[in-house]
Amino acid sequence: MQYHNITKDDMLNGDGLRVVLWVAGCSHGCRECHNPVTWDPDGGIIFDHNAKEEIFEYLRRDYIRGITYSGGDPLLLSNRSGITALAEEIKGEFPDKTQWLYTGYEWDDVKNLPVMKYLDVVVDGRFEVDLKDTKLHWKGSANQKVINVQQSLKGSTVVLHDE
């Protein structure tokens, strides 16, 4: 897995102060994407032990609420195993920290992936510039959903995360 950046003390990509891992690789090609530099799956740098330790260093801080995976697309096929392994390790090491993930895929297409058992919130769907609304909480366009993963997995309907 490749990544472009690790942001600390982020307040825009989930609730509370968070660490954000910006992975490399996205095939959606959303018009007016805010981060097209992350589209190339071979861009950025290799996610290694030092990068993981950088994330863990911040997750150890009481005021950090959790981690958000963004990019790029963390659920691009080439990122899935790396994100799943990292999410599992974080859940084991920091069970009280929340894990959010942004993806251009629709919920129905990804809800059965192994990573979902470690996630708290998924923001799904491609960014649609024609549906862009800067007043939306935690998402860029009105077609996207902010999904409570664990509640949604328990039933047959999507449960939205309380804003």
CA neighbor of 9 nearest in space, from 20, 23, 22:
20
Q: How does DSSP assign 24-78, residue by residue?
A: S------TT-S-GGG--TT-SEE--HHHHHHHHHHHTSTTEEEEEEESS-TTSGG
Q: How does DSSP assign 98-120, residue by residue?
A: EEEEE-SS-HHHHTTSGGGGG-S
> Which pTM was predicted?
0.95
Domains and CATH numbers, the chain: 2-154 (3.20.20.70)
pLDDT for 30 equals: 84
pLDDT for 92 equals: 98
CB within 8 Å of 88: residues ≥ 6 apart: 118
pLDDT for 163 equals: 57
The stretches in the chain having pLDDT less than 50 are none
pLDDT for 28 equals: 87
pLDDT for 16 equals: 95
pLDDT for 57 equals: 97
pLDDT, tens digit, 9 for 90 and up, residues 100-128 = 999 999 999 999 999 999 999 999 999 99
